[in-house]
Amino acid sequence: MPIRLGAVSYLNTRPLVHGLDGQPERFAVRFDVPSRCAELLSENKVDLGLIPSIEYAQNADYRIVPGVSIASTGPVASVALFSRRQPSEIGTIALDTSSRTSIALLKILCAQWFEIEPRYVPMEPDLAAMVKKCDAALVIGDNALFADHDALGLEKIDLGEEWVGMTGLPFVYAFWTGRPGAADSDAVTALLEARNRGVAATSTIAQHSFPNNPGRASIADRYLREHIKYDLGRPEEAGLRRFYELAAEIGIVPVKRELEFYGVD
């Protein structure tokens, strides 16, 4: 039976699954928003999920596929707080609930970097409607990447950039995760190879994603090349550990979660 993969439907995921659809005997891939990927893994409806990193901290049984993640080492461009006010003046924030990791990151930054205690309002990811109701809006994924915030008179506060400013470490948004035994060494190798193919093919991926919009395709290619990092090495692991530590400090997760990988006893 092929390994069932639950992947995120956003543009930044495409390099990680590049070519996997051509291996139906090995992988069966489905696409959903990040929070749904986590639910599918919890429900045993997929074997490996590209889940938001905060979800790993909620389940002691999960293991991580080594070497692969969706991360940033500076501005990420696709996870942002859009606001009419300076961060210190924000009282209410509308939340795009598609990714719990982005919400956790925002809450950490509000508590320990912006030093504010806003009221959070879950909403559908419609930026114009969100900022009509609240002082600021958390928007993620392609909606954030392509948002015309200038037309709405908004400042775009990049949360990847703010995290690096606060910690000096990369931020890891998602990685392949599953239960013990879900990924053998061959599966890990195949996922690493897919990542390598995808990183080398960002222009092709961008053009296929926006075949009738050269402007967006150009933005997408630059985004995949310059903003998103796909490694999970020691710097990214350090960023993850710091994220879990801070999340535990403010009560988002009960305890700091240690990192456990497939192929590592």
Do the domain assignments include residue 263? no
How far is Cα 160 from Cα 156, in angstroms, rounded to an integer?
12
Note whether 121 and 136 are within 8 A (CB): no
Q: Does the residue 19 lie in any domain?
A: yes
More confident residue, 55 or 71: 71
Per-residue pLDDT, averaged over 187-206, amounts to 95
Tens of pLDDT, residue by residue over 238-258, are 999 999 999 999 999 988 889
Torsion from C-alpha of 174, 235, 61, 42, nearest 10 degrees: 0
Do 163 and 176 belong together in one domain?
Answer: no
According to the model, what pLDDT value does residue 192 have?
95
What's the rounded Cα separation, in Å, for the pair 125 and 38?
A: 19
- Listed in sequence order, the DSSP H helices in the chain are 34-42, 53-56, 100-109, 127-133, 141-145, 159-167, 185-199, 202-209, 214-222, 234-249
Confidence band for 264, pLDDT divided at 50, 70 and 90:
low
Tell me the residue range of the domain where 110 lies.
79-167
Instruction: Find all residues with CB under 8 Å of 62, minimum gap 6, and list them.
Output: 41, 55, 56, 177, 178, 179, 260
Same-domain check for residues 46 and 159: no
Closest residue by Cα to residue 115 from 85, 90, 96, 80: 90
Q: Are residues 67 and 187 in the same domain?
A: yes
How crowded is the C-beta side of 180, counted as CA atoms within 13 Å? 5
**Residue 131 to residue 171: CA distance in whole angstroms:** 26
- Indicate the number of domains in the chain: 2
**Where does residue 235 rank: exposed (0-12), middle (13-18), buried (19+ CB within 10 A)?**
middle
60 and 95 fall within a common domain: no
Residue 118 inside a domain? The answer is: yes
Does 27 fall in a domain?
yes
Whether residue 191 sits in one domain with residue 127? no
pLDDT digits (tens, 9 = 90+) for 130-156: 999 999 999 998 899 999 999 999 999
209 and 229 in a common domain: yes
Task: Give the pTM.
Answer: 0.93
Is residue 15 scored above 70 in pLDDT? yes
Whether 192 and 118 share a structural domain: no
What percent of the chain lies above the pLDDT cut of 90? 83
CATH code, 107: 3.40.190.10
Q: What is the pLDDT of residues 220-238, one digit of tens each?
A: 999 999 999 999 999 999 9
Q: Is residue 158, in this structure, part of any structural domain at all?
A: yes
Using 50, 70 and 90 to split pLDDT, how confident is the model at 59? confident
C-alpha to C-alpha distance for 89 and 259, rounded to whole angstroms: 36
- Residue 244 CA to residue 132 CA, distance in Å, equals 33
